[in-house]
Amino acid sequence: MAVDSADLDYRARTRSGCIPPELVSRLVHHGHAAVVEEWAGRGEWFCALVWARLLGERGRQADALEVLGPYAATGWWTAVVATAELLEGWGRVKEAIETVRARMAVGHPMALEAYTRLLARHGRAAEAFTMLLPHADDEALATALVDVAAVAGRDEEAAALLAARIRADHRCDGPWCCRGLDNDTAIGLLATIRERQGHIAEAIALLRHRQITSVNSRDQLADLFARHGRIEELRAYAATDGHEEAVQRLAVLLEECGDVEGAIAVYGQTDGPAAWNPRSAYELAQLLARHGRGDEAVAVMRAQADAHRGDDWILHALSELCLDQGRPFDGLAHLDALAAQCGGEVEWELFWMRLPLIAACSGVDEAVERARAHPEGTTWYAAEHIARLLADAGRTDEAVAVLQQHDRRNSHDLAGYLIDLGRIDEALAVLQQPRPQCG
């Protein structure tokens, strides 16, 4: 088997011309592990990864490594990491460390972080910390340095490095202002150390100086307040404009403490974040639905749909909520009213979400008929939704027939349904076709 790292990386990233991980799992679920084994030896990375893990679980470690060997031999980082993770999981730590070290030795850009974290997990934190010290200006490696410092007992050294990189009066004027370790990241990492040391007030003071408070939909200061039960400080912080994540964190904390009414009040149905912020409104609706207050939940999302006419995300959330609450007629009525305001013509992007509602009200056949009658009902993207309706109704053969008219555009969905039907050879043939570019 000949494999190329660039080709492996392209196919893994794009899920093009390969058997994607969700379908590998589907094959195993349906008892086709032998198929996964076969294709693991034919250049299918996701098959190789699953098969190697299965072999490891069966105590066949040597066979597992043999499966991953050709992939790791290309130097492809994903395969190297997977091999090291298996070895570490089996307790073969020295081999895991050597596997990653070999890539670091040839200068792989991600190897140093993985190598030092691996060392720190296995009693060599001091060595790892020393290796990371010269790289404190790199965001990923600075983060690793802070994590490793906790194990190595070198918090003060890491803190000093970070403090030296914080420019007190600097504010970035654009996304490319600070190269490497930016001010906000340095502040956040230093605050992590101070919190770890028990210096909570200092950590809070640091975090109040950030320019950007939300990173990956999390607010570090809000999380700190929550971890330490500082509810009133969190409440005051959440009341500040632009702190959506803090609002959600406070509501979650109150719900976890059993104060459901308090959590609901955080969102302020008529005069708080839920009144003007669709995301907060959605979180409030989910909270209400979790506690048996479906009517109120639907009312919250309906208000947002009225305020943001034609916003497909909000309409989809309202439709799903109506369906979950056993009120498909209400969801359909709102969508029909919106269509009437648009002269009865609705693009597929806003039309498809009504299909499950129609199916719940009048049956799948009516929903399929309405879908096919739509001006875009014969397109490849409409086929995906029609097929899902049929498959959810147990009519998988019909779903396959719909998708086969657009097999290259809907190859993953089609292959999945074929696997469900036991038509494995057909499914694999579909997956080997390159997926066309969208457009």
Give the model confidence (pLDDT) of 21-40 as tens digits.
Answer: 999 999 999 999 999 999 99
pLDDT at 361: 97
pLDDT at 271: 73
Pairing verdict, β 214-215 and 218-219:
antiparallel
Residue 215: helix, strand or coil by DSSP?
strand
State the pTM of this model. Answer: 0.89
pLDDT at 438: 46
Of residues 99 and 169, the one with the higher pLDDT is 99
> DSSP secondary-structure letter at 166?
-
398 pLDDT tier (thresholds 50, 70, 90): very high
Structural element, H or E, at residue 98? helix 93-105
Give the model confidence (pLDDT) of 308-362 as tens digits.
Answer: 988 999 999 999 999 999 999 999 999 998 888 877 778 999 999 999 999 999 9
pLDDT at 170: 63
| Cα separation values, 200 from 150, 222, 331, Å | 16, 13, 48
Number of residues that this document lists for the chain: 439
* Pairs from 188-193 (Cβ < 8 Å, separation ≥ 24): 188/215, 188/220, 189/142, 189/143, 189/146, 189/158, 189/162, 190/159, 190/162, 190/163, 190/166, 191/220, 191/224, 192/146, 192/220, 193/146, 193/149, 193/155, 193/158, 193/159, 193/162
Of 102-106, 148-152, 187-191, 392-396, where does mean pLDDT reach its minimum?
Answer: 102-106
Q: Which amino acid is at 392?
A: D
Structural element, H or E, at residue 281? helix 278-290
pLDDT at 59: 97
* 403-419: b (≥16 Cβ within 10 Å) or e: bbebbebbbbbbbbbbb
Per cent of the chain over pLDDT 70 is: 96
44 pLDDT tier (thresholds 50, 70, 90): very high
Separation CA 378–CA 382 (nearest Å):
6
Give the model confidence (pLDDT) of 230-268 as tens digits.
Answer: 999 999 999 988 889 999 999 999 999 999 999 999 998
Give the model confidence (pLDDT) of 270-319 as tens digits.
Answer: 678 888 899 999 999 999 999 999 999 999 999 999 999 889 999 999 99
Q: What is the mean pLDDT of the chain?
A: 93
For the chain, how many helices (H) and strands (E)? 29, 2
Listed by start position, the domains of the chain span 378-439
435 has a pLDDT exceeding 70: no
Of 43-47, 87-91, 96-100, 304-308, where does mean pLDDT reach its minimum?
Answer: 304-308
Per cent of the chain over pLDDT 90 is: 85
| Cα separation values, 10 from 5, 43, 78, Å | 9, 13, 12
Residue 437: helix, strand or coil by DSSP?
coil
Q: Which amino acid is at 361?
A: C
| Cα separation values, 156 from 181, 190, 199, 316, Å | 18, 10, 12, 50
pLDDT at 439: 41
154 has a pLDDT exceeding 80: yes
Give the model confidence (pLDDT) of 161-180 as tens digits.
Answer: 999 999 876 666 555 555 67
**CA quadruple 274, 277, 283, 289: dihedral sign:** positive
pLDDT at 359: 98
Q: Which amino acid is at 114?
A: A
pLDDT at 177: 57
